[in-house]
Chain A
Amino acid sequence: MSARIELEGVGKRYGAVTAVREVHLTIAGGEFLTLLGPSGCGKTTLLRMIAGFEAPTAGRIRLGGEDITGVPPHRRPVNQVFQGYALFPHLSVRGNVAFGLRMRGVGQAEIGQRVDEALALVALQGLGERFPHELSGGQRQRVAVARAVVCRPQVLLLDEPFSALDAKLRQSMRAELQALQRRLGMTFVLVTHDQDEALALSDRIAVVNAGALEQVGSPREIYHRPATAFVAEFVGHANLIPVERTSGTADRATVRLAGTLELDLPAERWPAGRSATRAVVRPEQVVLRPWRGAAPDALRGRVTAAEFRGDRELLQIALGDGGGLTLTAVQPGGDGDTADFAVGAEVAVALPAANLWFLPSG
């Protein structure tokens, strides 16, 4: 019921415009993979090529080892949950869910049974006779999912399935979808521009930029060990600080951050073959202390802006001697009425070596 997808050098060009360039990607059977990227990056085109709506201009697509590059969409064992769901307005919920089975010539009795199962799967029993316009946004999404999974595809494609929902509903639908995927063990390929969604749901994330894959990895890898500045900045918030290696041995490396702060770290953490790069430090990894004079492990900074978010507080800190650098830091929201670090306060910014990630490229 779940099959491996192999994209072998898949590319798509429209005239002179290249939408997707030579993508190599293998999605394991039963995996939940997310194609993440900004709008216009080519992730949707990639999905549409898997579905069969677009023919690649280069490369092959295999499903379970079988070449499906030239197979039309209605003959692929792949189903999709469309952005906006594309429910048939003239059919009831049952009619929508039964559609794929009818097209495949499944017998009436079996259709009835499988539709019931699918509706139960998405907790829509009893709403079968409603029409799409009589449903809430969340219910519509469930119909779209039921309509796709009832066909027992080897791969389920989801194109921005949460974009039509409000923030609260999005959270609960996300959990539901993940549970469903675990239960069905089906290969899921999700397209989204929302990094939260990607991090929360995926086994692996493929970050797409300008028609090419920037990085493929688990959510933790992507977040903590971004391969490029693009990935670092697109997934979560990243402070990028210039860093150079000043000296070191085979085991240890000495690096200088922002031209001032010297740190010592194990040599294997430094990207091989580079003399300078940028360090990524996430806002929650920036350690702040009230300024009590210069310290060897800290930079001097001043709070320029503060944004209270309830459970936490976002601070903008201008580094005094960091070449005009500004960092973002996160502090717990606190339990009192006054902030620990007020705007204008001088702070010591410590950047522990263990919290830094050095970009291997870019």
Chain B
Amino acid sequence: MTPFPVAREPGARPGAFAWLLLAPLLVWLALFVVVPALLLLGCSFGERDEFGQVLWGFSLENYARLLDPVYLRIFLRSLGFAALTTVLCLLIGYPVAYHLARAAPRVRELLLLLVLVPFWTSFLVRTYAWMAILREEGLLNALVAWLQPAWAPLGLLYTPAAVVTGLVYSYLPFLILPVYASVEKLDGALIEAAHDLGAGPWRVFPAVILPLTLPGIAAGVTLVFVPAVAMFAVTDLLGGARVPLIGNVIQNQFLQARDWPFGAALGVALLGLFLVSQMLLRALRPRGALRG
């Protein structure tokens, strides 16, 4: 027996040593993922007292309240906003990621850096920067006024369009990076093979490139869609908090309405939604593309 049983049959059960290596991750997951999720679940069955404290118990009332048309409508609207954000991120991000991955190494490094640079500053600062751009006396309106004074000022800030702009801006890198990774892994010989077999430049994409980068797209879409559904800061700052999304409603339950159990139920519902959609996505994935 070697002290480091590294090479194992794929699918073999990990030995004691492997468990030891995994332990920090497992502890971390248990402490910061499993325990909070269970707390949330437990809380969602509770009730609030007059003062807003959680009374633990078992009641389905909070879940019954989810069916209130007020919250259902907000749920649907949040999904719509997130879906629009995801589609726009995909339309903008995919070509960027594709050309990034196919660029010459030095250019690629530089461009990749540019994609990542915004992460160096706080998300909030970047959102405030958008306010400075979109507001009535802001940069964009100054430009519009200079080009065509009759159009100015455009009421851009505090509109749903501003919210979507902010969401797309914030989450674009989360789409670009996984798509970039999958395009980079794409074997150039496959594209040549497609050309060789008679596929012109426009047909190679749907026939070969798109299906083979599907895992990257799926990862990117998940990374954009999931946080976009629950986002509340952008709706507040760029949307003027006019149209509440599900993230705002949840935030309100915890910080304004002092109704933690209901907030927890909303959170659990959101979590359930993501789990179901992930399982669907998994089930729908084509057999051959699983590899790669």
Contact = CB atoms under 8 A, between A and B. Distances in A.
A131 interface: yes
B286 to A, nearest CB: 6
Contacts of B30: none
A89 B189 contact: no
Interface string A137-166: 000000000011001000000000000000
A75 B208 CA distance: 18
Given A103-B199, A151-B198, A86 B207 contact: no
Contacts of B197: 74, 79, 99-100, 103, 147-148, 151
Given A89-B212, A89-B288, A73 B190 contact: no
14 contacts: A51-B196, A53-B196, A74-B199, A86-B193, A88-B193, A88-B212, A89-B288, A90-B214, A91-B288, A104-B198, A131-B288, A133-B291, A148-B196, A148-B197
B209 to A, nearest CB: 11
A99 B192 contact: no
B3 interface: no
Contact of A89 (B195, B203, B291): B291
B200 interface: yes
Interface in B178-200: 187, 189-190, 192-200
Contacts of A133: 288, 291
B207 A132 contact: no
A99 B207 contact: yes
B70 to A, nearest CB: 44
Contacts of A104: 198
Contact of B203 (A86, A88, A103): A103
A52 B199 CA distance: 13
A291 interface: no
B292 interface: yes
Interface of B: 187, 189-190, 192-200, 203, 207-208, 211-212, 214, 286-289, 291-292
A341 interface: no
A129 to B, nearest CB: 10
B195 A74 contact: yes
Contacts of B212: 88-90
Contact of A53 (B192, B211, B286, B287): B192
Contacts of B200: 72, 74
Contacts, number: 78
A319 B108 CA distance: 60
A232 B104 CA distance: 41
Given A84-B189, A86-B187, A86-B189, A103 B288 contact: no
A247 B190 CA distance: 62
Given A72-B195, A88-B212, 5 more contacts: A75-B198, A89-B288, A103-B194, A103-B199, A148-B196
A80 interface: yes
A86 B199 CA distance: 15
A82 interface: yes
A92 interface: yes
A170 B212 CA distance: 30
B223 to A, nearest CB: 22
Interface string A86-98: 1111111000000
Nearest to A98: B197
Contacts of A86: 187, 189-190, 192-193
B192 to A, nearest CB: 6
Contacts of A148: 196-197
A82 B193 contact: yes
Q: In the complex, which of the residues A86, A92, A132 has the most CB atoms of chain B within 10 Å of its own CB atom?
A: A86
Given A80-B193, A82-B193, A84-B189, A92 B288 contact: yes
A127 to B, nearest CB: 14
Top 10 A-B residue pairs of the complex, sorted by shortest distance between their CB atoms: A100-B197, A103-B198, A86-B189, A86-B193, A90-B288, A90-B289, A90-B211, A131-B288, A73-B195, A103-B199
Contacts of A132: 288
A14 B261 CA distance: 68
Nearest to A132: B288
Contacts of A88: 190, 193-194, 208, 212, 288
Contacts of A90: 208, 211-212, 214, 286, 288-289
Given A84-B189, A86-B190, A74 B292 contact: no
